[in-house]
Amino acid sequence: MKISIDKNNLLVIENPNIPKTKEYCHNVSGYEFCDFDKGLIIYHKKQFKIINLKDLWEKMWVVMVWEKDEELNNLELDIKSVESALKLFEGFDEETGNKYYFLYKFKESELELLNKNLNKLDVKTEVKKTEKWICCDYLEEELEYNPASFLFGLTLVYGDFMIKNGDLKSLKIQLPLFGKYKENTEVLDEVIATLSDNWIFVKKNIQETNDGIVYQITSSDYELLQIFARFYEPIEKWLKISKHTDTFKIKEKLVEFLNSNKDVPKEWKAKVLEEIENWMIKILVK
């Protein structure tokens, strides 16, 4: 047996005695993966354990490890992508023959604050109330979808930042899918997939409600929260992101577990410990 970081960047124990007869698929915090059964190191009820991958269940946390990407630390807000988030829904005025963008199910009482925030972020698009919709000016140009900035724009309009005592804990977006359902869904799916390819994890859930279909997006990924906190600084500065601090406290427990547990194989352990020390680590919830 040996311990390793596998093709899915999970911390596993390769055990030749475990049958490789069936692939098991899981979704943890928006990250989807499939693999044959093997030993899996998980965090559950405030302690690390070794289970079989097929036995991964709700509220268990898995460990992901990969090489750092320093570019994320320098990511800047893309204004065009924020504007694209404001213009997800397109309309046509039959009286004037003009196209326009609009915000669906947006509260008129929040319009003044939204425009103030957009102005602080240097977003030039003005959102205004008309007889039919709360609208944005129509611009004949291709929309842009820089994933983090686009998602940030959606959060400004359709979402909430979950904050407690200046601590940014998570974000949640409730997006009613109006009009071009398939096209809008494809855009949102692609944004989430691109973030996942860059090891930033966002969870989606499509719900049918009395008011139509809602595309729900949630995330407590500390890297994404750090990026959004930096984007939001012209409006408000949050004091801390405890998800980041908590992850590194759990990392210390992980190292202690690997060094002390007799069921952790010695083969490749030194290499894995070095990678855990020098690479990125995230704990994702099933």
Tokens found for residue 143: 């929309």
pLDDT at 138: 64
State the burial class of residue 88 (Cβ atoms within 10 Å of its Cβ: 0-12, 13-18, 19+): buried
Per-residue pLDDT tens over the stretch 121-131: 999 888 988 87
pLDDT at 192: 94
Mean pLDDT in each 10-residue stretch from start to end of the chain (286 residues)?
96 94 94 96 96 96 87 83 89 78 87 95 89 70 85 96 93 84 87 92 89 89 95 93 92 96 96 94 92
pLDDT at 179: 67
Number of CB atoms found within 10 A of residue 108's CB: 8
- Residue 79 is which amino acid? I
pLDDT at 88: 86
Per-residue pLDDT tens over the stretch 58-85: 999 999 999 877 666 678 999 999 999 9
Query: Rounded to an integer, what is the distance from CA 174 to the centroid of its chain?
Result: 14
pLDDT at 2: 96
pLDDT at 139: 60
pLDDT at 141: 66
pLDDT at 95: 78
For the chain, the 3-state helix, strand and coil shares in percent, each to the nearest 5, are 35, 35, 35
Per DSSP, the three-state class of 204 is strand
State the sign of the Cα–Cα–Cα–Cα dihedral 135, 137, 140, 141.
Answer: negative
pLDDT at 92: 79
Tokens found for residue 179: 């009009």
How far is residue 163's CA from residue 256's CA, in Å, rounded to a whole number?
32
pLDDT at 72: 67
